[in-house]
Structure 1
């Protein structure tokens, strides 16, 4: 029995179609009810009279008034139920069976383009959540020694770069570098930037693979996914190997001098630096496009 956490249904159906020359994976039923009623009534009363002058003037006239009272009431009721039954879970099982029968799934020694299957502990990176929760200003009064940390930061900001305060500035800098609350400051800035670089996504690591998850294919809320990493179950992933990290932190920046290459590689280079600096990726880790992520009991 699978507890599916993430499923890219478009990719599943695409791969199945290529394996089976097309496969119907979705059934849509639509029920519609309509009930309409119109009621109307008009009441009208007319009075008239004639007025005239003498026959010599050859003139006459007619005076008429009409009083009308009408109303129109329309009652309309429409109830439309759209029931969509998707065979996504069955499609995933069918895809795995097809790929295994043809020995197309690799479990180690991945290369770019390989269909892979891996399992291990789940590690989740939700940068939007990190950016919000690492901002401690609103709860600073609850945190031990946080006021002292803010005071040190404030003092350092005032004397930084001033020659007569170099000794004190160095002393404060060393104290801040080992202060636990300083890590939250670094996480806040890093997460805020990565939230812009990778919007509407979560990042996960399973074994030696690293994946970017679009939120639209997640079957659980991001917060719940974060708590799932505290469990002891191993999670499985089926995916496509996209690339491999040659270094934890890139060391060759020669392409940055070429404007065309810089436009091409700058976002991935910055992402590589940030992820590697915080130990989120390691050398020889694989970037994988996930097809399905699930627990299986």
Structure 2
């Protein structure tokens, strides 16, 4: 049984459509769920026109129409217009549910059968080239830049730093209050200054790390990655079965083994690909400086030269 944490349904839909000359259109009435939404608007317009002329004596005369010595003339027109409009939307889930099951539950198996039948699947450990579909099994690490940014946020974590520094300062002050030894008091004052300085330095370091993470979010295609050895796969949020933060919390650097099926796209060299001629141009100094980020990212365990980039199709436990 496969327990999926990632499944690229868009890729599998494309595969099924190409293999079957279109997506399956069969449906069944075994299961049906309907949702009806109605919106009704009504408008009633009534027009009443009334005219009346009355004379108690004398003659009221309208040539060729009415002649009376005395009387009352009433003219009344009543016209009621009513407009009712109704819009009803009904969505049936029967066909959608069954087609979804047919595509998602079995599409990956069909794709794996297709790869094996045509000798297109390479198992990690064997020779592989960019463009190959590859199956990788092993221990994994999930890295999420957004989660790390929240953890290392200077504004959010500064309160904790100040609280810890304050607690240590209070301890030193209590010790100072119990002694008359000037040497001890001078040492305590020195330690107090060190704590204040360390607190400032830590905040500054956090701000620098936050800046690097912000830069990473701009230059990388995704904020979440999965690493198995030298293989690294960027994860699209819409194909994850659980949020990336939840995966980091549940697994992190897990001792469990996971299976990754994907396409080997390239071997990572550096973040900024430049020609030698570019380095000799007026912006060459900037380019050389940016290339130094490669070492930083490597030390953080994100990407390093020689890593194999995998476009993931399915990631699951067995």
- Whole-Å Cα distance in 2 between the matches of residues 130 and 237 of structure 1? 24
The change in CA–CA distance for 1:120 and 1:60 in structure 2 (over 3 A counts) is same
Match of 1:241 among 264, 277, 297: 264
Change (3 A) 1:235 1:27: farther
Q: 1:219 to 1:68 in 2, by over 3 A?
A: same
TM-score (norm 1): 0.66
Per the alignment, residue 24 of structure 1 pairs with 23
Which of these residues, 137, 140, 150, is aligned with residue 158 of structure 2? 140
Counterpart for residue 64 of structure 1 = 75
Q: Which residue of 2 aligns with 1:191?
A: 213
Q: Of 106, 113, 136, which aligns to 1:90?
A: 106
Residue aligned with 2:256, SS: coil
CA-CA distance at 1:133 after TM superposition: 2.3
| C-alpha contact (below 8 Å) 2:154/2:210 kept by paired residues | no
Q: How much has 1:75 moved relative to structure 2?
A: 6.8
* Partners of 2:154 and 2:203 within 8 A in 1: no
Tell me if 1:126 matches 2:144. Answer: yes
Classify the secondary structure of the residue corresponding to 1:220: coil
Question: After the TM superposition, which of the residue ranges 286-295 and 65-74 deviates more from structure 2?
Answer: 65-74
Secondary structure of the residue aligned to 2:10 is helix
C-alpha distance in 1, partners of 2:10/2:62?
92
- Give the C-alpha shift of residue 187 in structure 1: 3.0
Aligned counterparts, 1:101-120, within 5 A:
101-106=117-122, 107-108=124-125, 109-120=127-138
Determine which structure has more spread, i.e. the larger CA radius of gyration: 2
* Unaligned 5+ runs, structure 2: 67-72, 167-193
**Structure 1 position 134, deviation (Å):** 0.9
CA contact 1:6–1:292 (8 Å) conserved in 2: yes
Closer/same/farther in 2, CA of residues 51 and 93 from structure 1, 3 Å limit: same
Q: Structure 1 CA distance, aligned partners of 2:306 and 2:141? A: 17
Mark the CA change 1:286 to 1:131 in structure 2 (over 3 Å): closer, same or farther. Answer: same
Normalising by structure 2, report the TM-score: 0.62
Counterpart in the other structure of 1:208:
230
In the alignment, the residues of structure 2 paired with residue 117 and residue 58 of structure 1 have an alpha-carbon distance, to the nearest angstrom, of: 103
Total equivalences in the alignment: 264
Partner SS for 1:121: strand
